[in-house]
Amino acid sequence: MKIEGEYIFNGPREDVWELVRDPDVLVTALPGAKDLNQVGENEYEGEMNVRIGPVAGFFSGRIVVSDEVPPESYTLSVEGKGNPGFAKGTGRVQLIEQGDGTTLMRYEGEMQIGGRLAGVGQRLIDTASKSMIRQGLETLNQALQARVAARSEGKEEGAYKPPSEAEFATAVAKDMAGEMLSSARTRMILIAIAVAIVIIIVAVVLISTGGGN
C-alpha cells in the first residue's frame, strides 16, 4: 500500500521539527498509544491498545529514524505486529518552509500489511489511513499553535489540551464517512482497521535527533 500526502502546519519549520521530535507530544496525537520509548540512538518502541470494530488487540511497534537532515527531512522505517496482524513500511518525510510562516509537510511511503488487518480490513485501509493521518496531524497542528501562541505571550508552555481518545475516534469516523461518501463507496461500516495506520502516524510525525526526553 502506498501512502502519500501533504499537510500545512501553522508555524515555522524549526518549531514543527521540534514538535515532531517530542515523543510526549506525539503520544497525545495517537489515542490508545502507551508511551514511546527510546531504545537506541534513533530507535523507538511503542505499544498501543486498539479496540475498534472487529479488529481489536495489542499492537507493538518499532520505529527507526534514518537519513536525518534537520530540520528538513528524515526517513522512517516502521514495523509493528500484534494480535491484529502486522505492518511494515518505510516512508520519507519532508518539511518545506512556505515563506509565510507556515510549513508544508510532505510524506510518502510504502506499507505492507498482513494478517487480520489485511484480510478483514482491506476495504477500509486506504480511507482509514488517510483519515487517521489527517486527524493526527490536525492534533499536532493544534499543539503547535498552542506552543507558538504561548511563546508570543511570553509563557513557557501553551495551555494545550490534547483530544481524548473518544474525540479522536469520532473525528476519524466523521472524516472517513465523508471520504467514503465523496468517493461513492457504498458500504459504510466503520470498522477501523487502523492499527497499522496509527503506527504510520507515529512514524510520520515522530522525529528524533536522538535527544528526545
Partner 1 sequence: MTEKYIGKRLTRNEDPRLLTGQALFVDDVEIPGMLHAAFLRSDYAHARLRSINVSAARSRPGVVAVYTAEDMGDAWQPGPPLVSPPPTVEDIVFHSRTQVPLVKDKVRLAGEPLAVVIAESRYVAEDALDDIVVELEPLGAVVDLEKALEPDAPLVHDDLEFNLAAHLIQEKGDYAAAREKADLIIRRRIVIDRGTAAAMENRGIVAHWDEKSQQLTLWDTTQAPIPIRNGLAGMFGLSTHQVRVIAPFVGGGFGPKIMMFCPEEVVLTWATLQLGRPIKWIEDRRENFYATNQERGQVHDAELALTHDGRILGLRDDFIHDTGAYDPYGLTVPLNTQCHAFGPYAIPTYYGDLKVVFTNRPIVSPLRGAGRPQGVFVIERLLDVAAKKLGIDKVEIRKRNLLPPDVFPYDNKIIDQAFVSLVYDSGNYRPVLEKAAAMIGYDRFLSEEQPRLRAEGRHVGIGIVSFIETTGIGPYEGARVTVETSGKVSAATGVGTQGQGHFTSFAQIVADQLGVSPRDVNLVTGDTSEFHWGTGTFASRGAVVAGNAVNAAALTVRAKILKLASKVLEVPEEKLELEDGRVRVTGVPQQSISLGELAVLANPLRGAVEPGTEPGLEATAYFGPKYGATASGSHAMILEVDPETMMIEIRRYVLVEDCGTVINPLIVEGQLHGGVALGIGNSYYEQLMYDENGQLLNASFADYLIPTASEVPRVEIGHEETPSPLNPLGNKGVGEGGCIPVPAVFAQALEDALADYAIEILEVPMSPDKLFELLQGKGKEQ
Site for partner 1, rule CB under 8 A: 57-58, 81, 83, 85-86, 88, 112-116, 118-120, 122-123, 187, 189
CA-closest candidate to residue 78, choices 94, 96, 59: 59
Considering the complex, state which of residue 116 and residue 130 has its C-beta at the smaller distance from partner 1: 116
Cell numbers at residue 23, please? 515523543
Shortest distance (Å) from residue 89 CB to partner 1: 12
* Contact by Cβ (8 Å): 29, 35: no
Which H or E element spans position 161? none
Q: Smaller CB distance to partner 1: residue 115 or 158?
A: 115
CB of 185 to partner 1, least distance (A): 13
Give least dist CB 122 to partner 1, A: 4
Q: Is the CB of 37 or the CB of 122 nearer to partner 1?
A: 122
Longest CA pairwise span in the chain (Å): 52
Contact 130, 178 (CB under 8 A): no
Q: How many CA atoms lie within 13 A of 25 on its CB side?
A: 27
- C-alpha to C-alpha distance for 10 and 194, rounded to whole angstroms: 26
Q: Which is nearer to partner 1, 88 or 147 (CB)?
A: 88
Least distance from partner 1 to the Cβ atom of residue 70, Å = 32
